[in-house]
Amino acid sequence: MTALWTSDEIAAATGGTATTAFAADGVAFDSREVGPGDLFVALKGEATDGHRFVPGALASGAAGVLVSEHADGPAVVVPDTMAALDDLARAARARMAGTVIGVTGSVGKTGTKEALFQAFDRIAPGLVHRSVKSYNNHTGVPLSLARMPRDTRFGVFEMGMSAAGELSALTRLVRPHVAIVTAIAPAHGANFSGEAAIAAAKAEIFEGLEPGGTAILPEDSPHRDLLHAAAARHADRVLSFGSGRGADVRAVDVTPGARGTQVTAALPGGRTLSFTVAQPGAHWVSNALAVIAAVHAAGGDVARAGLALAELPGLAGRGARLQVPVAGGTALLIDESYNANPASMRATLAVLGATGAARRIAVLGGMRELGAEADAHHRALAEPLGAAAVDYAILVGAEMAPLAERLEGQADFAHVPDAAAARAILEERLRPGDAVLVKGSNAIGLSRLVEALAASKGD
């Protein structure tokens, strides 16, 4: 089996000097994730210096380390390890002869990335690589690229941003053949003047498109024209997805069912495709259409992609469904604890509303980084809460105060300061047959509530 990187290749890519010959089968910059045979990259951050963890990484079995200081072990020494990681990412991308797909968006990018991985893995089993977790920033993207095997046929990379200019840099590292914007919504609003500015920043993903590349964008978005104009400057072809008549990949029939949503889509060239989306909700239909558009653009088998969508598992923190024990039976827990913004809150509350249950409970954490409109966005959640026929709401964090004020005297709810208090109330109230949605910005810590309830399955 060919190594992912040899010390000579690392030195050549980074302009560094190898102290000893070694071969690495993986790459990590978190010493806690280092396994036997990995290359450990010692990054210097604001809070800590990765060089402190070099001895531990080597003790964990690292094949070698990428450092800017002396190390007592196999190493490639460079002036700047962050720049060297970028260089390693460029080298990985340069030697890959397959097709690269880049994904961004205010909502849906991680789910779409995972669905793309499943779809392409149906087409080329074992030859598909993607970003893991949500490694979508200035360190996560080059790490994901550096981990890409040289024989990869399809690479799928998620790219995120919190300010203008960030995606421009990331997409030039990834150099996608197909670039997708899933949706535009208020997120990181503190850094932008409005949704149009967010859309313009997301459109930066098109700047890195390879010659002959395809841009894919949401037809139904109010920012469709802005996205299309930006895409047209860099893409050889622009495809849109959605329900609107102008969409190139268009949902012509959508029928929710017990085992998923049945979708019939019109494709370019007059073809149609019928498939099932295992994950519930209109937002997942939209994600699925983006996946089909990308597989079509990449020349893949869209029928195989449809089969993959029918078997797509729920993602931890992003829609996973867990049956948790309560006295006398079980309750359904919908885990959306990873992140939240106004659009994803509305989408997942709609999913809760469509879920059959004895009672519906929503545990909602505050939405972060919304800027001056934060109070208004939280207050506006009263409408989707009502539409979902939520029987009881647990509002978590100071950001939820405007919603609590709006619901006073109109709904049954509790407003608590943190996830621990939310857990105590939920465990007291939970009954057999209940459906519980847990959603909030990651910093609120609702994942700990989910983990505690999930752990109780083995009690």
* pLDDT score, position 181: 98
* pLDDT score, position 459: 42
- Residues 303 and 330 both lie in one domain: no
- Residues 22 and 120 both lie in one domain: no
Both tokens assigned to 325: 């024990």
pLDDT digits (tens, 9 = 90+) for 34-93: 999 999 999 998 888 999 999 999 999 999 999 999 999 999 999 999 999 999 999 999
Amino acid at 371: G
pLDDT digits (tens, 9 = 90+) for 337-371: 988 889 899 999 999 999 999 999 999 999 988 88
Domain of 52: which CATH number? 3.40.1390.10
3-state SS, residue 20:
coil
* 421 DSSP 8-state letter: H
Enumerate residues 6+ apart whose C-beta is below 8 A from 243.
219, 220, 250, 251, 254
pTM of the model: 0.86
Q: Please, are residues 154 and 184 in contact by the beta-carbon 8 Å criterion?
A: no
Domain of 359: which CATH number? 3.90.190.20
- Residues 188 and 270 both lie in one domain: yes
> What is the gyration radius of the CA atoms in the chain, in angstroms?
23
Return mean pLDDT, the chain.
Answer: 94
**Residue 88 covered by a domain:** no
* 319 DSSP 8-state letter: B
- Residues 13 and 114 both lie in one domain: no
Enumerate residues 6+ apart whose C-beta is below 8 A from 62.
24, 34, 36, 37, 38, 39, 40, 73
278, 310, 342: which is the final residue of a domain?
Answer: 310
Cα(166)–Cα(204) distance, integer angstroms = 8
Cα(5)–Cα(91) distance, integer angstroms = 10
Regarding beta strands 272-277 and 214-218, do their DSSP bridges make them parallel or antiparallel, or are they unpaired? unpaired
Residues 111-137 have a mean pLDDT of: 93
**Residue 267 covered by a domain:** yes
* CB neighbour class for 32 (10 Å; exposed up to 12, middle 13-18, buried from 19): exposed
- Residues 371 and 306 both lie in one domain: no
User: Quick one: which of 293, 342, 340 has its CA closest to 318?
Assistant: 340
Q: Please, are residues 41 and 63 in contact by the beta-carbon 8 Å criterion?
A: no
- Residues 129 and 234 both lie in one domain: yes
* pLDDT score, position 190: 66
Cα(156)–Cα(101) distance, integer angstroms = 5
Domain interval for residue 434 = 320-458
Angle CA 444–446–448, to nearest 5: 120
Residues 102-117 have a mean pLDDT of: 94
**Residue 134 covered by a domain:** yes
- Residues 306 and 325 both lie in one domain: no
3-state SS, residue 188:
coil
- Residues 305 and 329 both lie in one domain: no
| pLDDT surpasses 60 at 457 | no
* pLDDT score, position 209: 98
- Residues 115 and 218 both lie in one domain: yes
Domain of 256: which CATH number? 3.40.1190.10
- Residues 178 and 210 both lie in one domain: yes
Q: Please, are residues 282 and 347 in contact by the beta-carbon 8 Å criterion?
A: yes
3-state SS, residue 196:
helix
pLDDT digits (tens, 9 = 90+) for 240-268: 999 999 999 999 999 988 778 999 999 99
Helices (H), 52-174: 54-59, 81-95, 109-123, 140-146, 166-174
Q: Give the bridge partners for 95, in sequence order.
A: none
Both tokens assigned to 338: 């990873």
- Residues 356 and 304 both lie in one domain: no
- Residues 41 and 100 both lie in one domain: no
- Please tell me the total count of domains within the chain: 3
Report residue 315's pLDDT band, with 50, 70 and 90 as the boundaries: confident
**Residue 177 covered by a domain:** yes
